[in-house]
Amino acid sequence: LELGGNDAGIVLPDADPKEIAEGLFWGAFINNGQTCACLKRLYVHDSLYDAVCESLVAYAAHIPFGDGLSEQSILGPVQNRMQLDIVASYVEDARAKGGRV
């Protein structure tokens, strides 16, 4: 869905969280999330919410990130201060709404 730059993913109740975690992760973080079609919103059916969160965390924990020039890194840092501030504001908003980091 193209929602004015706020592209959404929808997880329906018959989905298998472990099977979709990799696709959801890369849907959001391909090219470090710096493409116009990356997922910025993820709507998950209540019955799968915890399992999807756990599967995404488990997948992300195995992705090497660091110096963008290092061959060992799959994902590098956020490219500039303005984008970093935007990401930080999303994290703070999630925390304020009960999210955990």
Q: pLDDT tens digit string along 19-66?
A: 999 999 999 888 777 777 788 889 999 999 999 999 999 999 999 999
Strands in 33-83 per DSSP E: 41-44
Q: Average pLDDT for residues 73-79, to the nearest whole number?
A: 87
pLDDT above 80: residue 5:
no
Nearest to 53 by CA among 1, 86, 98, 85: 98
DSSP strand pairing (41-44 vs 8-11): parallel
More confident call, 4 vs 12: 12
Check residue 78 and give its pLDDT: 83
Backbone φ and ψ of 56, nearest 5°: -65, -40
Residue 38, pLDDT score:
83
**Residues labelled catalytic:** 2, 36
